[in-house]
Amino acid sequence: MLFGRCRAAENAEAAVEGLGARRVLLISSGSAARTADELAARVPVAASIRDAIQHVPAERARAAVEIAKQHGSDVVLSVGGGSATGLAKMVARDIGIPVVAVPTTFAGSEATSMWGMTEGGRTVTRVDERLLPRAVI
């Protein structure tokens, strides 16, 4: 946990550097656009997804995984609420990279190893300790 008033970008940069990451996949929700822009100016963003939505639809998760693979992402930086963190966890689960979370709401996902995804109208949740964010800003 890295705290500090008006220090989200600085702390995210430190967390990403601490993981040795060089190709960040930045995932955010629309409501967190300003914060995502501030972070993008400080970390080596290889690709961005700026439209995370609730309940992590499976097709969105698959698309995000492909984007991460295409750009050689080595960390996922989520900015926003549970939707952004949830999508980041799906990428991390499928390609084995760490998550750094910058929650802008208290969804709780940023502090757990639980993931969830919706497909065919059915939401599946599981726990995977590898998905616990390595840093929470």
Q: Which bin fits 108, alpha (ψ -120 to 50), beta or left (φ > 0)?
A: left
- What are the tens digits of pLDDT across the range 118-132? 999 999 999 999 999
Residue 58 has pLDDT above 90, yes or no: yes
Report the sign of the C-alpha dihedral through residues 129, 1, 75, 66, in that order. positive
Task: Provide the CATH topology of domain 8-136.
Answer: Rossmann fold (3.40.50)
Phi first, then psi: give them for residue 110, nearest 5 degrees.
-70, -15
Q: Which bin fits 135, alpha (ψ -120 to 50), beta or left (φ > 0)?
A: beta
What are the domain boundaries of the chain? 8-136
**What pTM does this model have?**
0.95
